[in-house]
């Protein structure tokens, strides 16, 4: 059995951010990632203005993210369309590109990273691997994203009676999509779901959808669901017409609204393993990065024993953004409510700006001062 003082499970934004901080602090650790090559995880691909500042503190130049600058949000429900400016410019980026940048930054800082290592289960801070080996750790940073690891999975009750599935397709590239979407992030609202659409750094558009299982069952399969939504929502249908060939990416049973409210010594839950914000808020990657930085900073200051207090504080700070995003999601998935609210938002677009601000997690804390000092 191998041993390491600190084991990071997962090389996405949360795990890579934690590895950067641990490497800068000179603390021994090991990050393991199941994919040998950086893939493109199912993700909305939105980075808020606050997250861009945090990435800069980690050494990731916003210019390196590519040209997909976002300045507006566009809401579409039936034949109603509302636009409003974002509080500050944001950015769109594929997970393949962002993860590549963050892992390269971690390696450059001296992080220990092993790829192609799949964790089958975790028992008593020991990771049991697919190849039969084990890695034991004094402290575990669980950063496996939406995918649960046996032994530390999120409760089934968090998924609800009609659980949500995530679906993602690529659109284009096409000049017509550039004209339709522009520098906006779009939210197409429909019965029991919504779809976010945004242009990314490679010129394609990312269409990421959250839909309840009952709606998918009614359609029969993801392909038929997309066809039905394209007929039901003409604007969405225009965008789906540029769908790139290939299968629909999917992840089942996303527990939106769940938070890890209590912690235990030696276990830091990061990103979606700490709290799952409805994707329409566009703060999933922001939470992942902030949680990785906070966890590593807490560990650097207090060791394994700092994990419980870290988790409690993170749960408290996630309460407002996750709770508010959940209320908005409930309304967005009801056509009657969505169509009633959109005209109000058209008259008072400041409402959208206020919501955008209130669904961000705070980044300007001791974690930010730490990364700035170590940069």
Per DSSP, the three-state class of 170 is strand
Which of 143, 119, 128, 125 lies closest to 21, judged by CA?
143
- Which pLDDT belongs to residue 375? 45
Average pLDDT, the chain: 91
pLDDT band at 347 (very low <50, low <70, confident <90, very high): low
Q: Which domains does the chain have, with CATH numbers?
A: 2-159+255-374 (3.50.50.60)
Task: Return left, alpha or beta for 132; rule: phi > 0 is left, psi -120 to 50 is alpha, else beta.
Answer: left
- The residue whose two tokens read 């912690």 is 263
pLDDT at 294: 97
Task: Tell me the pLDDT tens digit for each residue of 266-294.
Answer: 999 999 999 999 998 889 999 999 999 99
pLDDT at 374 > cutoff 60: no
CA distance 234 to 228: 10
pTM: 0.93
Q: Enter the tokens of residue 285.
A: 């990657």
Residue 351 pLDDT: 66
What six digits make up the tokens of 188? Answer: 């197409």
Please provide the DSSP assignment of 92-128 as one string.
E--HHHHHHHHHHHHHHHT--EEES--EEEEETTEEE
- Cβ 125 vs Cβ 137: under 8 Å: yes
CB atoms within 10 A of CB 264: 12
Beta pairing partners, 243: 171
Q: Report helix, strand or coil for 347.
A: helix
Instruction: Give residue-wise pLDDT tens across range 96-105.
Output: 999 999 999 9
Dihedrals φ, ψ of 315, to 5°?
A: -60, -40
Identify whether 332 is preceded by a cis peptide bond (ω within 30 of 0). no
- Give pLDDT, residue 372: 46
pLDDT for position 183: 97
122 pLDDT higher than 90:
yes
Residue with structure tokens 């769940």? 258
Nearest to 92 by CA among 209, 198, 208: 198
User: What angle, rounded to 10 degrees, do the helices at 335-347 and 350-358 form?
Assistant: 110
* Cα–Cα distance for residue pair 327/337, rounded to 1 Å: 12
Q: What is the pLDDT of residues 145-197, one digit of tens each?
A: 999 999 999 998 888 899 999 999 999 999 999 999 999 999 999 999 999 99
Report whether pLDDT(80) > 90: no
44 versus 109: which is more confidently predicted? 109
φ/ψ of 53, rounded to 5, equals -65, -40
> Residue 366: is its pLDDT beyond 60?
no
């Amino acid at each position: 059995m191998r041993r390491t003082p600190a084991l990071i499970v997962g090389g996405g934004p949360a795990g890579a951010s934690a590895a950067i901080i641990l490497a800068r602090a000179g603390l021994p650790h090991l990050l393991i990632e199941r994919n040998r090559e950086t893939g493109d995880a199912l993700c909305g691909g939105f980075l808020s203005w606050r997250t861009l500042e945090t990435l800069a503190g980690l050494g990731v130049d916003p210019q390196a993210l590519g040209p997909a600058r976002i300045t507006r949000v566009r809401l579409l429900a039936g034949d109603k369309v509302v636009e409003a400016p974002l509080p500050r410019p944001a950015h769109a980026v594929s997970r393949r590109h962002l993860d590549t940048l963050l892992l390269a930054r971690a390696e450059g800082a001296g992080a220990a990273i092993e790829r192609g290592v799949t964790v089958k289960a975790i028992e008593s801070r020991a990771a049991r691997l697919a190849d039969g080996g084990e890695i034991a750790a004094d402290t575990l940073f669980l950063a496996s994203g939406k995918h649960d690891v046996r032994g530390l999975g999120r409760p089934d009750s968090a998924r609800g009676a009609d659980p949500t599935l995530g679906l993602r397709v690529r659109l284009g590239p096409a000049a017509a999509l550039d004209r339709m979407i522009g520098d906006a992030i779009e939210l197409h609202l429909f019965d029991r779901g919504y779809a976010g659409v945004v242009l990314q750094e490679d010129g394609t558009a990312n269409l990421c959808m959250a839909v309840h299982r009952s709606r998918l069952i009614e359609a029969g399969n993801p392909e038929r669901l997309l066809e039905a939504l394209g007929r039901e929502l003409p604007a969405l249908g225009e965008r789906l017409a540029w769908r790139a060939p290939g299968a629909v990416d999917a992840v089942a049973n996303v527990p939106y609204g769940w938070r890890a409210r209590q912690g235990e010594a030696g276990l830091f839950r990061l990103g979606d393993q700490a709290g799952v914000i409805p994707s329409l808020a566009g703060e999933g990657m922001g939470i992942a990065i902030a949680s990785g930085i906070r966890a590593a900073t807490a560990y650097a200051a207090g060791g394994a024993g700092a994990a419980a207090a870290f988790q409690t504080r993170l749960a408290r700070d996630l309460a407002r953004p996750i709770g508010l995003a959940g209320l908005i999601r409930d309304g967005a998935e009801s056509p009657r409510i969505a169509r009633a609210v959109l005209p109000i938002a058209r008259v008072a677009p400041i409402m959208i700006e206020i919501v955008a601000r209130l669904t961000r997690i705070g980044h300007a804390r001791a974690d930010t001062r730490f990364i700035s000092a170590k940069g």
